[in-house]
Amino acid sequence: MSSVILETRALDKHYGGLHVTRSVSLQLHAGDRLALIGPNGAGKTTLVNQISGTVAPSSGSVWLAGEDVTRRAQALRVRAGLARTFQITTLAPHLPVQRQIELALFEREGLTGRAWRSIDGYPVLAAEAQALLRELGLGEHAAWPTERLAYGEQRLVELALALALRPRVLLLDEPMAGVPQGEGARLLTALAALPKELAVLIIEHDMDLVFRFAKRIVVLADGAVLADGTPEAIRSDARVRAAYLGQ
């Protein structure tokens, strides 16, 4: 049985004469740690938007666990095991951290239609939310509104929300964006501790993080795959140095 959990087949996206992604094909296996890098405007976020379902491809297809999900809505892809975070935080600023995690768990379990029963009536979900926050070092802030957290901690809450969905594939769009240097260590620790069976695709401009985290790197340039290989192979690739990494 194939261990391919996510696959894109010749994904293209164009807006009139603007070609953003060009026949991008890649695979993720269970447990992969794949970094997607490239210059600004290379098409990285557009590619992830096509994978997650926020942008429809002009042509090509997206496969999740052997099923074609190209035309499935974003919510259905989430239920099938695909979760993502965004460049800019999308947290509710005034809602307590734990309650936001509980709401994600509530949705995962298909309980949102049970308006007759309060979320507080599910102590098992509250315990799961507390355990997840403790694992990410946020246990002492469970009752805080997210606006009180440092930005790096807010990034950890976003990660907790994604993990609460029990995904098989996690898409991370620049998790270090905007995080002050002094707060980055906690996020790096959390990324290193992600479940080993989880397939992770990360977009990131922090090359230190990329080369520490990724086991494989795909380089996009002008919307197309320029290179795909191990960090060592990418670091020594003359085309990649010329297009992005520099000398």
pLDDT tens column, 82-118 = 999 887 777 899 999 999 999 999 888 887 766 556 6
Residue 230's alpha-carbon distances to 62, 126, 213, 233, 234, in angstroms, are 23, 41, 11, 5, 6
Tokens of 54: 């926020």
Dihedral, CA atoms, 232, 233, 235, 238, nearest 10 degrees? Answer: 160
Record the pTM: 0.90
Q: What pLDDT, on a 0 to 100 scale, did the predictor assign at position 181?
A: 80
Q: What pLDDT, on a 0 to 100 scale, did the predictor assign at position 13?
A: 96
Phi, psi at residue 215, to the nearest 5°?
-100, -15
CA distance 58 to 49: 13
Dihedral, CA atoms, 69, 70, 76, 80, nearest 10 degrees? Answer: 30
Which CATH number is correct for 4-245, 3.30.365.10, 1.10.10.10, 3.40.50.300, 3.10.20.30? 3.40.50.300
CA distance 226 to 22: 11
Q: What pLDDT, on a 0 to 100 scale, did the predictor assign at position 120?
A: 73
Query: Which residue stretches of the chain have pLDDT < 50?
Result: 1, 247
